[in-house]
Amino acid sequence: MKQCNGSRRKFLHKAAMLSLAGLAPTILPSSVFGKGDRASPSDRITLGCVGVGGEGTRNLMAFLGQPDAQVVAVCEVEQARRDQARDRVNQRYQNRDCASCRDFREIIARDDIDAVCVSTPDHWHVPISLMAVRAGKDVICEKPTLTIAEGRLLSDAVTRYGRVFQTSTEDRSLAVYHRMAELVRNRRLGKLQRIYVKLPAGPMDPGDPTPQPVPPGFDYDMWLGPAPWAPYCPGRIHWNFRWIVDYSGGQLTDWGAHLIDTAQWANDTERTGPVEVEGTGKRHASGLYNTYYEYHLRYKYASGVEMFVDSGGVALRFEGTDGWIANNGWVAPLEASSKAILDSVIGPGEIHLSTCPAGEHRNFLDCVKSRRDPYFPAEIGHRCSSVMHVGNIAMWLGRKLHWDSGKERFVSDDGANRLLSRAMREPWVL
Among 38-42, 157-161, 178-182, 236-240, name the one with the lowest average pLDDT.
38-42
pLDDT tens digit sequence for 371-423: 999 999 999 999 999 999 999 999 999 999 999 999 999 999 999 999 999 99
What is the residue-wise DSSP string for 228-284?
PP----GGGSGGGGGGSTTT---HHHHHHHHHHHHHHHHTT-TTS--SEEEEEEE--
Q: 332 pLDDT exceeds 90?
A: yes
In the predicted model, what is the mean pLDDT of residues 296-301?
Answer: 98
Burial class of 287 by CB neighbour count within 10 A (0 to 12, 13 to 18, 19+)? middle
**pLDDT attached to residue 37:** 64
pLDDT tens digit sequence for 145-157: 999 999 999 999 9
394/212 Cα distance (integer angstroms): 34
Residue 340 CB: number of other CB atoms within 10 A? 11
Residue 266's closest CA among 177, 201, 338?
A: 177
pLDDT tens digit sequence for 351-375: 999 999 999 999 999 999 999 999 9
Helices (H), 171-250: 175-185, 220-224
Q: 4 pLDDT exceeds 90?
A: no
**pLDDT attached to residue 43:** 85
In the predicted model, what is the mean pLDDT of residues 192-220?
Answer: 98
Q: 29 pLDDT exceeds 50?
A: no
Helix axes 378-397, 251-266, angle to 10 degrees: 120
pLDDT band at 205 (very low <50, low <70, confident <90, very high): very high
Tell me the domains of the chain and their CATH numbers: 6-170 (3.40.50.720), 172-355+379-417 (3.30.360.10)
Q: 32 pLDDT exceeds 80?
A: no
Q: 28 pLDDT exceeds 90?
A: no
263/318 Cα distance (integer angstroms): 8
408-to-144, 389, 421 alpha-carbon distances in Å? 17, 12, 12
pLDDT tens digit sequence for 145-202: 999 999 999 999 999 999 999 999 999 999 999 999 999 999 999 999 999 999 999 9
**pLDDT attached to residue 36:** 53
**pLDDT attached to residue 39:** 75
pLDDT band at 15 (very low <50, low <70, confident <90, very high): very low
Q: Report yes or no: 163 and 133 within 8 Å, Cβ to Cβ.
A: yes
Pairing of strands 276-282, 401-404: antiparallel
67-87: burial string, b at 16+ Cβ within 10 Å, e else: ebbbbbbbbbbbeebbeebbe
- Mean pLDDT across the chain, nearest whole number? 92
220/217 Cα distance (integer angstroms): 9
